[in-house]
Amino acid sequence: MELDPVFLSRLQFAFVVTFHAIFPVFTIGLASYLALLYGLLVRTGNPAWERLAEFWTKVFAIVFGMGVVSGIVMAFQFGTNWSNFSQATSNFIGPMLSYEVVTAFFLEAGFLGVLLFGRERVSPRVHLFAAIMVALGTFISAFWILSTNSWMQTPAGYEMRDGMVHVTSWIEAIFNPSFPYRFMHMALASFLTGGFVVCGVSAWYLLRGHDVEANRKALSMSLWLLLFATPAQAIIGDFHGVNTLEHQPTKVAAMEGNWERDAGVPLLLFAWPDQEGATNHFEIGIPHAASLILTHDPNGVVPGLTDVPADQRPPVWITFFSFRVMVGLGVLMIAFAVAGLLLRRGDRVYHNRFFLQGLRLMTVSPFIAVTAGWFVTEVGRAPWLIYGVMTQAEAVTPSLSGWMALTTLIGYILVYAVVFIAGVYYLGRVIRQGMVEGDVQDVQDVTRAMRPMSASHVPFDDGQYQPPNADSRS
Amino acid sequence: MLGNLDLSLIWAAIIAFGVIMYVLMDGFDLGVGLLFPFAPDEEARDVMMNSVAPIWDGNETWLVLGGAGLIGAFPLVYTILLPALYLGVFLMLAGLIFRGIAFEFRFKARSAKKWWNIAFAGGSAVATFAQGAVVGAYIQGFETQDRVYTGGAFDWLTPFSVLTGLGMLAGFALLGATWVAMKTEGYIQRWARGLVVKLLLAVLAVFVVVSLWTPFINASVRERWFDHLEIIWLLPALALGCAALIGWGVKRERDILPFLATMGLFIFTYLGLLVSRWPYVVPPDYTLWDAASAPESQLFLLVGVLFVIPIVLGYTAWSYWVFRGKVRLGEGYH
């Protein structure tokens, strides 16, 4: 069998970035939630906010640690597997990625330590300030990464000289056409992720009667957030889609499974795209709906995949189905947010077992939706790495052979499997232990390490942990 | 005025500084990992790990800063070295990741502790060897054409780079041993001191063989050393002086001196390496000016980095100050 270094490198990058992305998408949302909790604590002095803040800080620490560990690899992959891309675009990509590192450093050096370990060493207001700065820092970090990715989707503010990108306007390059939409879409996705995880864990605690007072508060405030954020995400998503239609018509054609450029195109609920035959099988659609959504006109023209030669079309079925998974989960999220509002009458929101069990299951939904969304935008860009400028085949490292890429692909899968299993297993133990007073930090212990996971004292592997006490606090 | 400033030189200085900071600082905590299997008992391992736990990830930030600086300021180094060292880079990252999570979970583990010990020691050994082999590969140079690496997957792995890899194992173990001797007392300190002289002899053996071997590998290195720049012979002389200080310090049972002298040994060897290849950053073909990114890109990034480096240095100094002094059994991180 012939091993294709381009395909294997794509697979490898997809694996690493997918694995990594689930951590920051959660920590960005959770960091803002922590800032809110510490803010409420400073304002009201209610100990329920304190228990919530301390518990979610522990979770934040572990997820943040795993995100850092899994992220290191990507900084090297640009060079190992995509050296032609890195070389050609270094004048732009280099400073952008470096600024992300610089931002992350600044965060780590200044405020993360204070947030995780400084509660007894600084005043509550200074601690709150640190929490806000950490939340802000996660957004600034995302800013650089998403700007770089958006530039690869909709390049701007540059000129090519001798095969090298030279930046002519940093403002135009950084704020390229798709960036504002992608950033808003991702920021909301982070809030949705944080919101659904907090909802899911709170729902589980309520089902078990653990610290009912605090978890009711957490559930209620997250549901209010979701009530506004889920429909807002649908609206932003629509704007993002219209922007993609303008700049990357082929990607939209793949998302819609639309082969022929046409007016009055139906919205396909299901189809089996046939890349070879350039057609769909088993189509079920709503007439004119795709035209209506994309062009806001039932008879608007939607581009088709056959507008470009066969070798410039992305893998349609991945783009098509990923898009449906993302949108389907988005609709389900809106349904849960609305149900949460309706169930507030008579406090059923805290007691309805079906709703609480449903929220528990919904904990995974934002992770799947975000991953599917990235599959749409990244796979839908193929065969381009920089849309319209450089293909993936041109971008790959020339000296890379198929077996080298395969070796490291398998290697990274094994390494990440260990990291993931250990991390998630441990996170599960922390969540099972729940909100325990006095578990957070030892004041006198100056030799305590200032590292993310030392924010938690839950043991890793023996049976000594205490199961959540039945309603010990309310 | 900015036009007269050579941004590439400034960047070369920043990255050279970042690399030596990384080597010195991650060097001793990797060394602690290397010595782990040979520690007298499990309690000694706890103390050893406690001695580096608060600072090790701060140490590794220098690696990330160096890597990020490279792609920003000297992209050609990044896009030739990483493909050339493909498998070595993977091994190094895998080693560092296992080591990193071992730090997190060993303290929380009870029956699983021995597995995290293996991950810690094994990860440290793999990462150290890979870094040493990179140094060897760097001295040898890289096969390129039109600014692209054209060599094979195992060009970096030669008898010479295996030797430098082993040298790095001995060197980091020496840094680790002098660190442990400085930070502990009692039987752990005696054990660590006992290792220092043996490790020092191993380091010196590699040092001599590499010094004799290098001029035969590479004509330009030979010319640099045997031409007319007598002043650079000060560097190996100072390195050997540091080696003597280590031996003397251990014999007199000094706490801090052997560790500082080991750092000196590394610094002068590193400067010797820089001198051998200057101004080539991708030997044998490309100088630092060939490898530079556009001046506006270098300047754009320089603003942020000059802002952050003092903060990182301050933070580093502060955390070493907080965690100063001896580490004792049953205290600290748990």
According to DSSP, the residues that pair with A285 across neighbouring strands are A268
Decide the pairing of beta strands A267-274 and A158-161.
unpaired
Neighbour tally for B225: CB within 10 Å: 17
Instruction: Give the residue, B64 or A47, on which the prediction is more confident.
Output: A47
Interchain pair A447, B100: CB under 8 A: no
Within 8 A of B115 by CB-CB distance, chain A residues are: none
Lowest mean pLDDT across A50-54, A58-62, A361-365, B307-311: B307-311
- The encoded tokens of residue B139 equal 């001295």
The C-alpha atoms of residue B168 and residue B138 are separated, in whole angstroms, by 14
**pLDDT for residue B63 is more than 60:** yes
Q: Nearest Cβ partner of A90 from B50, B71, B100?
A: B71
The most confident of A221-230, A268-277, B217-226, B297-306, by mean pLDDT: A221-230
Q: Which of B101, B142, B305, B333 to mutate to test binding with chain A, by most A CBs within 10 Å of its CB?
A: B101
**Span A81-97, pLDDT tens digits:** 999 999 999 999 999 98
Could you tell me if residue A306 is inside a domain?
Answer: no
Q: What percent of chain B has pLDDT over 90?
A: 53
Contact A97 B104 (CB under 8 A): no
Which tens digits make up the pLDDT trace of B149-188? Answer: 999 889 999 999 999 999 999 999 999 999 999 999 999 9
For chain A, percent of residues with pLDDT exceeding 70: 92
Using the Cα atoms of residue B82, residue A63, residue A376 and residue A406 in order, give the sign of their dihedral: positive
CB contact under 8 A, A418 and B101: yes
A13, A102, A394: best to mutate for the B interface, most B CBs within 10 A: A102
pLDDT at A1: 58
A410, with CB counted inside 10 A (0-12, 13-18, 19+), is: exposed
Length of chain A: 474
Distance from CA of B262 to the nearest CA of A (A): 25
Mean pLDDT of all residues belonging to chain B:
88
* B71 contact partners, CB below 8 Å, separation of at least 6: A78, A79, A86, A90, A93, A94, A97, A98, B78
A-facing residues of B in 57-86 (CB < 8 A) are 57, 61, 64-65, 67-69, 71-73, 75-76, 78-84, 86
Question: Which residue did the predictor score with more confidence, A190 or B153?
Answer: A190
Measure in Å the smallest separation between the Cα of A470 and chain B Cα atoms.
Answer: 26
Structural domain of residue A432, as residue ranges? 5-251+324-455
Rounded to whole angstroms, the Cα distance separating A271 from A254 reads 12
pLDDT of res. A102: 82
> Looking at the partner chain, which of B71, B296, B308 has a beta carbon nearest the beta carbon of A106?
B308
Q: Is B5 on the interface with A (CB under 8 A)?
A: no
Do residue B108 and residue A426 have CB atoms under 8 angstroms apart?
Answer: yes
B323 touches chain A (CB under 8 A): yes
pTM of the model: 0.87
Closest listed residue to residue A247, CA positions, set A120, A359, A349, A377: A377
Closest to B53 in 3D by CA, of A55, A454, A297: A454
User: Tell me: the pLDDT tens digits for A237-249?
Assistant: 999 999 999 999 9
Residue B1 has pLDDT above 60, yes or no: no
Predicted confidence at residue B58, as pLDDT, reads: 72
Torsion of CA A171, A177, A182, A183, to 10 degrees: 20
β partners of residue A330: none
For B87-115, the pLDDT digits (tens) are 999 999 999 888 888 887 887 887 788 88
Pick from A448, A460, A462, A465 the residue to mutate for testing the B interface (most B CBs within 10 Å).
A460
Q: What angle do CA B151, B155, B160 make, to 5 degrees?
A: 145
Residue A181 amino acid letter: Y
CB atoms within 10 A of CB A127: 21
Provide, for chain B, the percentages of residues in helix, strand and coil under a 3-state DSSP scheme, each rounded to the nearest 5: 80, 5, 20
pLDDT of residue B188: 94
C-alpha closest to that of B284 among B189, B128, B145: B145
Tell me what the mean pLDDT of segment A258-279 comes to.
91
- A259, part of any domain: no
Tokens of B18: 């970042």
Residue A219 makes CB contacts below 8 A (sequence gap 6+) with A198, A199, A202, A203, A206, A349, A350, A359
Query: In this predicted structure, what is the pLDDT of residue A470?
Result: 36
CB A262 within 8 A of CB A302: yes
Question: Phi then psi for A173, rounded to 5 degrees?
Answer: -70, -45
Distance to chain A for B293, nearest Cα, Å: 6
Interaxial angle between packed helices A316-342 and A353-362, expressed in degrees from 0 to 180 and rounded to the nearest 10: 150
Answer yes or no: are the C-beta atoms of B286 and A87 closer than 8 Å: no
* pLDDT of B179: 95
Q: For residue B327, what are the CA distances in angstroms to B53, B55, B99?
A: 11, 13, 21
Look at the block and give the residue holding tokens 């300047």: B299
φ and ψ at residue A383, rounded to 5 degrees: -80, 10
User: The tokens of A239 are what?
Assistant: 């704007």
> Minimal CA–CA distance to A427: which of A71, A134, A61, A114?
A61
Distance, in angstroms, between B321 CA and closest chain A CA? 11
A444 interfaces chain B, CB cutoff of 8 Å = no
Phi and psi at B287, nearest 5°, equal -85, 175
Per-residue pLDDT of B223-255, as tens digits, reads 888 877 788 889 999 999 999 999 999 999 999
Helices A5-44 and A47-80: crossing angle in degrees, nearest 10, is 160
Query: Structural domain boundaries of chain B?
Result: 8-319
Least confident piece of the model among A8-12, A174-178, B82-86, B302-306:
B302-306
Instruction: Locate all alpha helices (DSSP H) within A4-123, ordered by sequence.
Output: 5-44, 47-80, 83-107, 113-117
Q: Which helix (H) or strand (E) holds B287?
A: strand B286-287
CB B270 within 8 A of CB B216: no
Residue scoring higher pLDDT (A447 or A50): A50
Question: CA of B112, closest CA in chain A: separation in Å?
Answer: 7
A327-376 tens-digit pLDDT: 999 999 999 999 999 999 888 989 999 999 999 999 999 999 999 999 99
Q: Which amino acid is at A90?
A: S
Domain B8-319: state its class.
mainly alpha
Q: Is the pLDDT of residue B334 over 50?
A: no
Q: pLDDT tens for residues A209-232?
A: 889 899 999 999 999 999 999 999
* Closest CB to A94 among B64, B72, B104: B72
Looking at residue B41, the DSSP 8-state letter turns out to be S
Match 């819609």 to its residue by tokens: A256
CA distances, A186 to each of A147, A171, A260 (Å): 12, 21, 31
Q: Are A400 and B79 a contacting pair at CB < 8 A?
A: no
Closest-approach residue (CA) in chain B for A397: B83
Q: Answer whether B108 sits within 8 Å of A461, measured CB to CB.
A: yes
**A80: pLDDT strictly greater than 50:** yes
The pLDDT value recorded for residue A452 is 60
The whole-angstrom separation of Cα A82 and Cα B184 is 46
Number of neighbours of residue B36 by Cβ within 10 angstroms? 21
Rounded Cα distance between B181 and A248, Å, is 62
How close does chain B come to A458, measured CA to CA in Å?
7
DSSP state of A468: P
Rounded average pLDDT over B38-47 = 91
Amino acid at the residue B91:
L
Res A463: pLDDT: 43
CA A377 to chain centre: 13
- Are B297 and A95 a contacting pair at CB < 8 A? yes
ipTM of the complex: 0.85
Task: Name residues 113-132 of chain A within 8 A of B (Cβ).
Answer: none
Q: Give pLDDT tens digits for A365-406.
A: 999 999 999 999 999 998 999 999 999 999 999 999 999 999
Residue A295 lies in a domain: no
Please tell me the least confidently modeled range out of A66-70, A171-175, A299-303: A66-70
Residue A296 lies in a domain: no
Give the per-residue pLDDT at A473.
35
Q: What is the pLDDT of residues A423-456, one digit of tens each?
A: 888 888 888 888 876 544 433 343 444 456 666 7
**Given B93, B109, B304, which is nearest A102 (Cβ)?**
B304
State the average pLDDT for chain A. 88
Q: How many domains does one find in chain A?
A: 1
A330 inside domain: yes
Radius of gyration of chain B (CA): 20
Percentages helix, strand, coil for chain A (3-state, rounded to 5) are 70, 5, 25
